[in-house]
């Protein structure tokens, strides 16, 4: 007999007993505007070169700045969005990301780190300068390391039960890392065209890093299945099968990029 999935029934109950969506929207708007005018800080009052600043120190300054109220201007968070390597506000952006991570739960961290990985990949795509690409790539690698560590700690035996949400978040990471390999292959080609060999080498390293992150995601999925409340039925999910198949393609992409790189440098 198929094992009874109480989690699914509880999920259905949670979905059924939920407030009206329109009411939720109006209340969210109401509570989002309650603080209007309290948090404010103009970046122009920062009397230093943010680029040259240590990230931890910047995070402390940003946190300190956030608690200041009553100053005129726009929030740092709002200004620091959509900035990339080389921008004056970039260290502020990174410090805000660190602060966000520090405040989130482990499962939310998976989502946040994944979003941050997407940003770094996007930055490496958008950057024109070799130095900026390398900076984005270095940060990308750091984020993959962080994510790997986090994934390894999730769904351990004896830890809180791994629910479907956690499972799907890990799956998302698995697919995202495969996509990153493809995007990075495009960035690699662009840098090779420009003759930026050091950046190109760094990109190959990042592609391999993506694959390591992917492996960890697959491993965590297996672990979460084994340690799930209902026990492991021994069957891999469709997503797991797709992830395994995707890895072979990604490996091939990396090999092709390596070959193109070698051909170019001859």
Partner 1 sequence: MVERALGGDVEAFGKLFEVYSKPVYRFIFFKVGNREVAEDLTSQTFEKALKGLAGFDEKKFFKTWLFTIAKNTVIDYYRSRKNSFSIEELEDVFPDSEDVTNDVQVSDEARRLFGALSKLKKDWKRIVEFKYIFELKNEEIAYITGMSEGNVRVILTRAIKKMKHIFRHERS
Q: Applying CB under 8 A, which residues contact partner 1?
A: 4, 6-7, 9-10, 12-14, 16-20, 23-24, 27-29, 31-36, 38-39, 63, 66-67, 69, 75, 77, 99, 103-105, 158, 160-161, 229
Q: Find the angle CA(5)-CA(20)-CA(162) to the nearest 5 degrees.
A: 30
Q: Looking at beta carbons only, is 3 or 128 nearer to partner 1?
A: 3
* Least gap, CB of 45 to partner 1 (angstroms): 17
Looking at the Cβ atoms of 16 and 49, the one nearer to partner 1 is 16
Nearer to partner 1, 19 or 263 (CB): 19
Angle 149-111-77 from CA coordinates, rounded to 5°: 110
Identify whether the C-beta of residue 174 lies closer than 8 Å to the C-beta of residue 162: no
Indicate the residue among 52 and 67 with the shorter CB distance to partner 1.
67
State in angstroms the smallest separation of the CB of 34 from partner 1: 6
Give the three-state DSSP class for 69.
Answer: strand
Q: Cβ–Cβ contacts within 10 Å for residue 9, how many? A: 10
Question: Minimum distance between the CB of residue 158 and partner 1, rounded to whole angstroms?
Answer: 8
Q: Which is nearer to partner 1, 170 or 218 (CB)?
A: 170
Nearest CA-CA partner of 211 in 237, 260, 173, 257: 173
Q: How far is the CB of 51 from partner 1 (least distance, A)?
A: 24
Q: Which of 48, 126, 139, 128 is nearest to 88 (CA)?
A: 48
Contact between residue 143 and residue 102 where contact means Cβ atoms under 8 Å apart:
no
Residue 265 CB, shortest distance to partner 1, in Å, is 48
């Amino acid at each position: 007999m198929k094992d009874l999935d109480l989690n699914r029934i509880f999920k259905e109950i949670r979905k059924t007993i939920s407030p009206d969506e329109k009411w939720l929207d109006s209340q969210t708007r109401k509570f989002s505007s309650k603080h209007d005018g309290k948090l404010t800080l103009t970046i122009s009052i920062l009397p230093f070169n943010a680029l040259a600043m240590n990230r931890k120190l910047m995070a402390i300054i940003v946190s300190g700045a956030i608690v200041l109220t009553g100053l005129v201007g726009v929030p740092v968070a709002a200004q620091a969005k959509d900035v990339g390597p080389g921008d004056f506000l970039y260290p502020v952006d990174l410090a805000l990301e660190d602060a966000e991570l520090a405040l989130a739960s482990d499962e939310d961290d998976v989502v946040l780190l994944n979003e941050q990985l997407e940003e770094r990949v996007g930055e490496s795509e958008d950057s024109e300068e070799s130095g900026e690409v390398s900076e984005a790539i270095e940060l990308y690698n750091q984020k993959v390391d962080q994510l790997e560590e986090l994934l390894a700690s999730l769904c351990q035996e004896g830890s809180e039960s791994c629910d479907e949400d956690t499972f799907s978040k890990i799956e998302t990471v698995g697919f995202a890392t495969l996509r990153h390999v493809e995007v990075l292959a495009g960035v690699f080609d662009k840098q090779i065209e420009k003759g930026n060999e050091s950046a190109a080498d760094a990109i190959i390293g990042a592609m391999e890093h993506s694959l390591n992150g992917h492996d960890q995601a697959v491993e965590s999925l297996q672990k979460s299945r084994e340690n799930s409340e209902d026990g492991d039925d021994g069957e891999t999910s469709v997503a797991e099968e797709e992830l395994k198949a995707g890895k072979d393609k990604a490996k091939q992409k990396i090999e092709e990029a390596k070959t193109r790189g070698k051909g170019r440098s001859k």
